Amino acid sequence: MTIEYTATNRNDYTGNGINTIYNFTFKVLKQLNAAKNKNYTIKVIISENDVKTELTEDVDYTVALESNGFGTITFTTAPTSTQQIVFLNEILRTQEADYINIGSGKFPADSHEKALDKLTLICKEQDEAIGRAILLDETSNLSNITLPINTGNADKALVINSSGDNLAAKNLADIGLAPVTDFAKTLLDDTSNIEARTTLNVYSKSEVYNKSESDNLITEATTTTQGISYLDKPITIANNATDADHDMDFGAGNFDFDDGSGQAVVSALTKQFDNTFALGANAGGMVSGESIPASGFIYVYAISTADGSLTDIIGTTTEDGSTISTDSVVSANSLNKKQYLGAIPTDASNNILAGKWYVSKDGYGFRYTKAIQDVYIIPSASTEYTRSLSVPAKENVLVIGSAHANTGTSGSDVLRINYGSPDEDLTVLTSVDLVDLASSGDSIRYARRDKPFYTSTAEMKFYVTSSSVARSFYFKTNGWEEKY
């Protein structure tokens, strides 16, 4: 038979779960392949979810060959819509023609033609395979190109080498793609968290906890150092210059939803907490039905729609934000995602107190412009006291303040006090937080101790271990940090 040139030496189909018969439109030979239990040179492949399976003739399918070499494949089970079907030629590389002239010397044309047909089909089969290969351009004079595939190059990228004459395996950080800056490369090649922190010039978690405010780990919100906060761009808080008693300024930033479902961006805006909440800048900020409390706190939340298309800032007198969803504007605009930002203190006249808000590694902090004396007492020995503090009544509030004691002037008097969280048992401590001693003939003596401690009830507790004479103890609250 003659074999004309065609571009097709394969057929591709997608199953539908119904059809079992599919045509192949290239020449196939009837040729025994004992190794694969095949009678025909066609190869049938099913691919599903990138898994390739070669089917078995007379088990998974049968072949019907027509006189022109074309034909049909009939599957035992109809391929499904998720299965890709591929028909290819697979001809044994053998030479079976045997030219024997018997007597007449007649040329064995039939045998010769069959051999030529086989060679031609093999060439077409190879053309199809080469067509799926990566080839050099016709103008290239390169040769002996090798693929550097070995275990040492695992998880590396295949690139053209610097000479442009072969392939090489490189780490992604070494390729030099435009989006990867030189600084980013110095981070990507770090092999440990210690090296990465050195590159980024940041502290570890334990180092942060061991640093004090004087080490500048707490950054004023108006000059936030990116990387110290958990947020990519924290929302800053500041007293408004025009109406500092009632309005607050919030800087542009982003926040994570407290249910973990997403993140949103807030534009810079001013909220008026002496007015009921309304959308946008220079608009009301309090939940409807609530107002600025006297000697209390406004708990501020960033709020958003689920898709982040609408965001705002709102204040409430409920520390858990439970009344935010009852606000009519909030519910009408589906602002049902939120994140707590911080607490704003107020005075007895329902005005916002002045101070500085800070962004720290773990949350927000506040410092009063002038420290508030929350405790003053002449305590009795072996007595435990609990007193309220000017900090929010929320979980994980770190109180920043100082404890003070004054002596009397008579004799060798002494005052020893332990103080801290309301949850602590101060009576069992062997060390003493604050010791104030005076020897005979001394004038009034003074002692001070700065020791931060946590509270969730806006209270502190102190225990007087000994007091030989009447002397005073007082505590000044400088501010707090809220740990998220």
When comparing pLDDT for 17 and 358, which is higher? Answer: 17
pLDDT at position 107 over 70? no
Whole-number pLDDT of residue 4: 57
The Cα–Cα gap between 86 and 49 comes to: 14
Q: Average pLDDT, stretch 278-303?
A: 95
* Residue 186 zone, left/alpha/beta (φ > 0; ψ -120 to 50; rest): alpha
**360 closest CA partner among 482, 191, 182:** 482
Lowest mean pLDDT among 157-161, 312-316, 437-441: 437-441
**DSSP character for 57?**
B
User: pLDDT band at residue 151, thresholds of 50, 70 and 90?
Assistant: confident
**19 closest CA partner among 87, 73, 94, 98:** 73
- String of DSSP letters for 190-226: --SHHHHHHHHT---HHHHHT--GGGT-SEEGGG--T
Scored b (16 or more CB within 10 A) or e, 24-36 reads bebbbbebeeeee
Q: List the Cα angle 295/297/298 in 5-degree steps.
A: 135
Determine the residue type at 336.
Answer: N
**344 closest CA partner among 301, 299, 396:** 299
pLDDT per residue over 376-432, tens digit each?
988 888 888 899 999 999 888 999 998 887 765 555 566 777 788 888 777 766 566
When comparing pLDDT for 374 and 130, which is higher? Answer: 374
- String of DSSP letters for 96-151: -------SS----HHHHHHHHHHHHHHHHHHHHHHTTS----TT----------SG
CB-based contacts of 414, cutoff 8 Å, min separation 6: 435, 436, 437, 438, 466, 467, 468
Contact 169, 181 (CB under 8 A): no
The Cα–Cα gap between 460 and 446 comes to: 21
Percent of the chain surpassing pLDDT 90 = 36
User: pLDDT band at residue 269, thresholds of 50, 70 and 90?
Assistant: very high
Alpha-carbon dihedral angle through residues 300, 302, 306, 309, given to the nearest 10 degrees: 140
- Mean pLDDT of all residues belonging to the chain: 80
When comparing pLDDT for 62 and 219, which is higher? Answer: 62
pLDDT at position 473 over 90? no
pLDDT per residue over 31-66, tens digit each?
777 667 788 888 999 999 888 899 999 999 999 999
Task: Work out the end-to-end distance of the chain between its first and last CA atoms, rounded to an integer number of angstroms.
Answer: 82
Stated length of the chain? 484
**278 closest CA partner among 319, 342, 243, 328:** 328
pLDDT at position 243 over 90? yes
